[in-house]
Copies of this chain bind each other. A is one copy, B any other.
Amino acid sequence: MSGNSFGVIFSVTTFGESHGPALGAVIDGCPPGITLDERIIQAELDRRRPGNHGAGECEASGERNPAVTPRKEADTGEILSGVFRGKTTGTPIAVLIRNTSQLSKDYDNIEHLYRPGHADFTYAAKYGIRDHRGGGRSSGRETAARVAAGAVAKQFLKEAGIRITAFTLRAAGVSCGSIDLSVIEQNRMRAADLKAADLMEARVAELGRNGDSAGGIVECRVSGVPAGLGEPVFDKLDAELAKAILSVGAVKGIEFGGGFEAADSRGSLWNDPIRNDGSGAVFVTNNAGGILGGISSGADIVFRAAIKPVPSIAKKQQTIDTNGNDADIIVEGRHDVCLCPRIVPVIEAMTAITLADMYLRTKMWLC
């Protein structure tokens, strides 16, 4: 495959550039009979849309979310195929998202400059041709197609009892003090702690005012996963999830369960003891993050992703131009300051696509 498809059975192919006519996704391998309509997809697209993350009340207050770009994108998802009378038919589901806010002239001044921290240089090196308008295919806008596909995966998983929740664990140096999954959609950072969210917002706003940007950590938790998903030795569940999450542009690392703390731990502390709680096997701790030997154990799957600071900043930076000469660049326009709140639905989407695929790859053993 040439890199724009993900998954073996539940397989997603995306297409589209930031400033071309449209983005879209083709979801092949979704079982027939799953309830699906455009509202289900739209709800997820809306979560990723600029200006609609965080709680409605924030928006209603008229305050601008300091973390995100004010660019307006309707991001309307149209189902083109694969659904008949409100149910999936087992044939490919295509979702189309027209680009409507294409101010590609904004990018004319960078046509001959490589933006630091962006893929401008590497795309030119690889393809010899570059669609400079807003990053083209490397734009974060491409994730809208993933979110649409993820909405289908989520719907399938929902019927299988699997629930995925991601949130901002840390941003701009501020961590959640406690974890309350119920407050995630009530704050504009999509943090799991309202107090921490306020502090995150303040720091993000300050960085934005200074022409700078912030990184963070997003955590993802999945409940209801049956034991048995994952295909060793290469397509282990954690390996597939790692690929899925690292395929999201701004992600620089991933860790499962106890993660990098494993380095300083020892076997007697790290191994999760197993007990029978009357209903079956339970793991007393979850350093494994719900995966042993690359196969789900039935415990919650837990992982965290490192999110780099938004590379588009207002400060002057050193770069080279397309002729190879040293140059300075100032990236104009309004951009996100911290990606965490908008990347939360993307990470959920990639997690859902991966789990739908691994579920279908495994289901035969469960029959």
Contact = CB atoms under 8 A, between A and B. Distances in A.
A247 B236 contact: yes
A118 B224 CA distance: 21
Question: Chain A: interface residue count, which band?
Answer: 35 or more
Contacts of A272: 116-117
B308 A129 contact: no
Contact of A311 (B14, B267, B276, B313): B267
Given A246-B242, A267-B310, A267-B313, A17 B90 contact: no
A107 B281 CA distance: 22
A22 B365 contact: no
Contacts of A232: 3-4, 91, 119, 137-138
Interface stretch (A23-31, A55-63, A66-74): A23-31
20 contacts: A1-B11, A1-B29, A3-B233, A15-B92, A20-B81, A22-B96, A33-B128, A84-B136, A90-B126, A118-B293, A119-B294, A122-B294, A170-B264, A173-B264, A213-B268, A214-B267, A252-B256, A253-B260, A262-B309, A267-B313
A54 B27 CA distance: 36
Which of A211, A287, A325, A361: most chain B Cβ within 10 A? A361
B267 A262 contact: no
A134 interface: no
Given A273-B319, A292-B118, A252 B242 contact: no
A94 B22 contact: yes
Given A128-B32, A232-B138, A24 B94 contact: yes
B270 A308 contact: yes
Given A242-B246, A276-B320, 20 more contacts: A2-B235, A4-B26, A13-B13, A17-B81, A24-B26, A26-B26, A87-B129, A114-B274, A116-B273, A116-B274, A117-B270, A121-B274, A121-B297, A122-B293, A125-B295, A173-B264, A252-B259, A252-B289, A268-B313, A273-B317
Contacts of A241: 246
A326 B275 CA distance: 6
A187 B79 CA distance: 39
B13 A5 contact: yes
A103 interface: no
Contacts of A292: 117-119, 121-122
A149 to B, nearest CB: 11
Contact of A243 (B17, B116, B240, B315): B240
Contacts of A116: 271-274
A239 interface: yes
B252 A262 contact: yes
B263 A364 contact: no
